[in-house]
Amino acid sequence: MLKGIDPVINAELIHALMLMGHGDQLVLCDVNHPAQTIAQHTTYGRLIDVSGCGLERTAEAILKLFPLDTFVEAPVKRMQVVGDPEKQIPIFSAMQTVVDRAEARPIKMDALERFAFYEAAKNSFAIVRTSDPGPYGCFIFSKGVI
């Protein structure tokens, strides 16, 4: 345990966050996401598990350390609901609240179709899987600079 670092942030997660540079992307997902399969395609190359923790709590802990990119219009992406791309579910607004609070400003969040999200996730730096049961708890954060 280290002082000042949220206990949600395990050693592997902090290692990955420290390796990331400006513009790199981090996927935060629920347990339904094919994270293990997709993680093999990422820069980091393996899945980072945050067991026993949900999406909102994990995002809050990460975003204390992780600045969102200010050079892109939408530094956060989420997965659309299959068959109803305009549908809003509670995790979307909950995560919007988390990112807005973390950055102390409104953050634009774009939605990606399911398979487009999977492709974007493959091109990310790393994937962090939470214990959140979902569904559609799949987000991509673009890293900025401090």
The catalytic site residues sit at: 22, 69, 118
Residue with tokens 């899987």: 129
Q: What is the largest CA-CA distance in the chain?
A: 45
d(CA 116, CA 102) in angstroms, rounded, equals 26
**Is the Cβ–Cβ distance between 29 and 137 less than 8 Å?**
yes
Alpha-carbon span 90 to 73, nearest angstrom: 23
SS3 helix, strand, coil % of the chain, rounded to 5?
A: 30, 20, 50
CB neighbours of residue 99 within 10 Å: 21
Contact 10, 111 (CB under 8 A): no
